[in-house]
Chains A and B, each alone.
Chain A
Amino acid sequence: MKQMTILLSKPGLDGHDVGVKVLAYALKDAGFNVIYTGLRKSIEEIVAQAEVVNADMIGLSILSGTHLILCQRMQEVLDERGIAIPWLVGGNIPHGDKGAIEGFGAVAAFPTGTKVEEVITFLKEFQTE
């Protein structure tokens, strides 16, 4: 199977990057091609980079509570540019917001405390589907 390329990013101004870096290492160890954008990227920048690197999945890490606003913007920018890269979110996601985030178009929303294995399993299943 083709190696999946995952673009991980930190949108907005949130500087909590321990989780996203841990995930980056774990996904690399699990055989994924991981590209990390670093902090403080606009949704536009993230989508542009995802196109350049030909990402199969975009992962947004958001812990500041801005997830609803940023996720809505995410799908808007993808639609505006006619790009169909699937995306998911991880971070401080209240249980009640999961539905809203998936409603915007995310394929998954993983709250803090999610085991890394769970994300890896999800990605592998997503790829085979």
Chain B
Amino acid sequence: MSSQDKKTDGDKSFDASVNDVKKVLLESGIEVKPLYTREDMQDSEADQSIPGQYPFTRGIHPEMYRKRPFTIRQYAGFASPEETNKRFKFLIENGQTGLNVAFDLPTQCGFDSDDPRTLGEVGRVGMSVDTLDDFEIAFDGIDLDKITVSLTINGAAIVLMAMYFALAEKRGYDVKMLRGTAQNDILKEFIGRGTWIFPVDSSVKLVVDTVEYCANHVPKYSPVSVCGYHIRESGANPVQEMAYAFCIAKAYTDETLKRGVDIDEFASRLSFNFDIYGNLFEQIAKFRGGRRLWAKIIREDYNAKNDKSSWMRMIAGGGGGGLTKEQPENNIIRSAYYALISALSGTQTMALCSYDEAYTIPTEKAAELSLRTMQILIHEMGICDTVDPLGGSYYVEALTDRFETEIQEEMKTVEALGGIVEAVASGKIQEKVSHQAYDREKGIQTGEIPKVGVNMFQKDEDPKPVEFHPYNVDAANYQIEKLQRIKNDRNGEKVQSCLEKLREDCLQNVNLMPTVIEAVKAYVSVGEIIQVMKDVYGEYEEPIFF
């Protein structure tokens, strides 16, 4: 760094040019000094910050993990409802407190198993669900008030959430006691992951239907988990990850408020899903600064009275983006660091990618290693003993302050694009992050971004055994036959009247949730419900910017 270079703010105590050390920029573009001292914390809010108290920089609970460690929630997807049921029972026996349901792509995109567009996809990347019958099988013998179930579903979320509530109602549970989470963050699907169905406005409307419904009827259920995770995996940097996620959460919040729901009736049920890879301190500051900023947004901009409303509750775990196909055993080490970062950041829930996930289906052994990594952290490392052990670190607190500011600035750039809904509909966000993904790829290929085993310390390796579950045509056919049988056995008149009512509700622009719940109870299929919505709302057309 030459002496003519502009000094960064707060850069008073240490002159890098004098000490002749190389300039360090974080992925988010923030310059890091070689030394931080008390002076860097002079304007910081850190001194007054107490865990469990607004603005929650140091954690949302006063005792954090001393009282209860973070929840371990591993992603599990199995082809059929029958296999899923077996797997869930295994996980419960092994002490897992939360279940995570993965769905196959036809279910995620709102197609029934017998739709020709699902060629080769039924049951491939998760559980195939056509009707309520599939949920009845998957959750057979599982006590719904003893577990929390997380549904990884977005485009078709309203239907799958309705199924879960319908299942609980049919089994005689009070849905007011039902706990769990739906991913249900459609805006991020347009940026990354891609299981959108309807145009952007209608998609947001459906999310808001679920939020409004849950606020009034299923108050302990978290209807939306806003995903910075996939946005970062698509190329966003850590500041953008938080900023876009907050803009998205604000968009759902604004629309829910327009329905006349009080902020304190739903804000506490919104949660976040974030990504972890790259610089350890950058990630920790990202979460601490983000948590403080979100608290301020909810309390100051939305006038929330309840502290819980301003909690940034999160699931944060190892990001696939940091893992490599080269020397895959290194991913075990990376994931352990990611887990440490997550715990040091005060996460509520943790999930790790398996070390072999970058190139193949995770083996049982790899999945077990992820679980053990988190258990070792909880039980051997003393991570649960003291709240926010990094609090007060000159560097971490200075970086936390900086992140709060940077995220806020990035949110303003989204506002300048007309807000997140407009910025996503026009493809501007997608264009920005995908170009950054390209820049990052170039950086890795040139070695500018160091990656152990990829552009440094490489060794000759045999090609990795890439495996997929062999496509089980019999299982797919069984699913299709089951759907046919249900369609034959159900009350056809009731089905027709449910679909008519749904069409009418779509046209009248009322909350669709009650009608969808009635429809799934009558074994109307996912594809049938989504088709009616498509007839009214139309389908999303992807903006192409090449």
Contact = CB atoms under 8 A, between A and B. Distances in A.
Interface in A31-60: 34-40, 42
A69 to B, nearest CB: 4
18 contacts: A12-B105, A13-B111, A13-B118, A15-B105, A15-B189, A16-B193, A16-B194, A18-B437, A22-B438, A34-B546, A38-B544, A42-B117, A65-B124, A66-B120, A68-B120, A92-B466, A116-B441, A116-B445
B497 to A, nearest CB: 31
A112 B434 contact: no
Contact of A15 (B193, B235, B360): B193
Contacts of A21: 434, 437-438, 546
Given A13-B109, A64-B105, A94-B467, A38 B435 contact: no
A94 B466 contact: yes
A82 to B, nearest CB: 23
B282 to A, nearest CB: 21
Interface in A10-31: 12-18, 21-22, 24-26, 28
A39 B119 CA distance: 15
B14 interface: no
Given A21-B434, A28-B546, A64-B124, 8 more contacts: A12-B105, A12-B119, A16-B193, A18-B233, A35-B546, A65-B471, A66-B471, A117-B445
Contact of B121 (A12, A17, A68): A12
Given A18-B192, A92-B466, A113-B326, A69 B120 contact: yes
The 5 closest A-B pairs by CB, nearest first: A15-B194, A69-B120, A13-B105, A65-B468, A94-B466
B195 interface: yes
A70 B108 CA distance: 19
Contacts of A73: 119
B234 interface: yes
A95 interface: yes
B438 A65 contact: no
B1 interface: no
B434 A25 contact: yes
Interface of A: 12-18, 21-22, 24-26, 28, 34-40, 42, 64-66, 68-70, 73, 92-95, 111-113, 115-117
Contacts of A95: 463-466
A24 to B, nearest CB: 5
Contact of B359 (A13, A92, A115, A117): A92
B327 to A, nearest CB: 12
Interface string B453-467: 000000000011111
A116 B359 CA distance: 18
Contacts of A70: 119-120
B101 to A, nearest CB: 18
Given A18-B234, A21-B437, A64-B105, A69 B466 contact: no
B542 interface: yes
B194 A17 contact: yes
Contacts of A40: 109, 194
Contacts of B445: 115-117
A15 to B, nearest CB: 2
A72 B409 CA distance: 49
Interface string B93-112: 00000000000011011010
Contacts of A38: 542, 544
Nearest to B466: A94
Interface in B329-376: 358-360
Nearest to A15: B194
Contacts of B119: 12, 66, 69-70, 73
